[in-house]
Chain A
Amino acid sequence: MCLAIPAKVLSVTWPTALVAIEEVQYNASLLLLSDVKEGDYVMLHAGFAIEKVDAQEAAETLRLLNEVDKNSNK
């Protein structure tokens, strides 16, 4: 029920944004998330963009996980 998937914003026409999940396109509602621009990734839940995906934080998490990887090989 709380399933949400990352979708790329192709264009914004308030109050919706055309988003893509691979080849599938969908007009997502922006009623719950206004600060969205082309190129952003948003979490799509039941037709609504509910939060942006933070690219920097995403990279930082992967960096930390790679640290664990290095440690576990020690």
Chain B
Amino acid sequence: MKYIDEYRNKELVLSIAAQLHKISTKKIALMEVCGGHTMSIHRFGLAALLPDNIRLISGPGCPVCVSGQQFIDRAIAYSQLPDAIITTYGDLIRVPGTNSSLEKEKAAGHDIRIVYSTLDALEIAKANPAKKVVFLGVGFETTAPATAAAILEAKKAGLINFLVLSAHKVMPPVMKSLVDDGVAIDGFIAPGHVSAITGTHIFDELAEQYYLGVVVAGFEPTDLMQAILILTTQIENGTPKVENCYHRVVNSEGNKMAQEIMNQVFELRDEQWRGFGMIPLSGLKIKAEYSDFDAEIQLNIVVPQSISPKGCICGQILRGVKQPADCKLFNVTCNSINPVGACMVSAEGTCATYYKYRQ
């Protein structure tokens, strides 16, 4: 496939690895923030090609994993309403809530549908005027504009039964929070498709304030190896900064049209992250102007207090301070058939990826 195969060239990957072995002298830890990067690194076995002194740690970039337990419990509560249809991306369906999951609710007969696009959810709303169709909005800056576009389309079409439960989040605050917490990170491999929307400039402050390299990467093996080479070179030379090695898709300004649509519908709010707690101004709330489409306002039900699963260390794994192998449940009671925590559920969750490739 064009723009994929050429970036999977084994010779190029090995030559970048050889270059890394040549230049790397310092013991460093690089965090791949994005769950998609974690998947690629393990799928292509890239970690094994690196010098022993370069360690990769997985970060908080799996939106399903970082969504708070309360969000899942609220979604489950909505699914039990008699006139509701829940629409969701597939990753969320198996995430365990305090007492149930969307999958279990679906098996119990509640109307829960997996959609590929927010516009599919909109079509379901048009076809079911007597029902309230709730779309579960998860995802970072890559995904939030698609939710915003659906809300604008719903408004244009005069739809009154399309609602969004937003758990959308933005990336830079959580990256800062990790460094503030003292997690040992020498550089970030930054998410490519978040940056396609936002531009690389959102990381400038992080690089300058914290004196850390932030390199935006694509998702193929040469993309990731190139990012690791650039970060290592920066660290060896003492010149950390924001660099882009995903030029074919990302520029410094990003997609202005998508940014405008996102900013028209959403505003920043403090947000709960699994493993982090509240991070100031890290979440996206639907603006008052669009409150007709805000499930939290239109379906204001009381959700009992959420309890996280016992023994699960998903939160510490998301913060990069523990590895899946450090968890007593991993590959014992927690596996891909019976996931205990969110990190084992989503395909891009750290535990799910490590379990799949048995590391």
Chain A contact residues, CB within 8 Å of chain B? 1-6, 8, 21-22, 29, 31-34, 41, 43, 45-48, 50-51, 53-55, 57-58, 60-62, 64-66, 68-69, 71-73
B247 near A3 with CB under 8 A, answer no
Check if B248 is an interface residue, CB within 8 A of chain A: yes
Please list the residues of chain B having a beta carbon within 8 angstroms of any beta carbon in chain A: 1-4, 6-7, 9, 11-12, 15-16, 18-19, 22, 34-36, 61-64, 89, 91, 116-120, 138-140, 142-143, 145-146, 149, 152-153, 191-194, 196-197, 219, 222, 226, 229, 245, 247-250, 255, 257-258, 261, 346, 348
Once the chains bind, are A73 and B119 in contact (CB under 8 Å)? no
- Is A2 within 8 A of B35, CB to CB? yes
Q: Once the chains bind, are B19 and A68 in contact (CB under 8 Å)?
A: yes
Query: DSSP majority for the B interface?
Result: helix
Closest 7 CB pairs of A and B: A47-B117, A58-B248, A57-B247, A69-B15, A6-B3, A72-B18, A72-B15
Tell me if A31 and B261 are in contact (CB < 8 A).
Answer: yes
Give the secondary structure class of A's interface: mixed
Nearest A residue (CB) for B116: A47
CA distance A65 to B61 in the complex (A): 27
Contacts of B229 in A (CB 8 A): 68
Contact between A33 and B255, CB atoms less than 8 A apart: yes
Given contacts A2-B139, A2-B193, contact A54 B249 (CB under 8 A): yes
A47 touches B119 (CB 8 A): yes
* Chain A positions within 8 Å of B261 at CB level: 31-32
Residue among B138, B247, B249 with the highest chain A CB neighbour number at 10 A: B249
User: Chain A contacts of B140 at CB under 8 A?
Assistant: 1-2
A57-B248 contact given A31-B261, A47-B146, A66-B12, CB 8 Å threshold:
yes
Q: Closest residue to A4 on the B side, CB-wise?
A: B193
Bound Cα distance A22, B143 (Å): 24
Do A48 and B15 have beta carbons less than 8 Å apart? no
A32-B255, A46-B118 known, 11 other contacts, Cβ within 8 Å: A1-B64, A4-B249, A22-B1, A31-B149, A32-B146, A43-B193, A45-B193, A51-B197, A57-B247, A57-B248, A71-B19
A62 partner residues in chain B, CB cutoff 8 A: 6-7
B257: which A residues are within 8 A, CB to CB?
Answer: 32-34
Query: Closest residue to B65 on the A side, CB-wise?
Result: A1
Residues of chain B with a CB closer than 8 A to A41's CB: 2-3
Closest CB-CB distance, B148 to chain A, in whole Å? 9
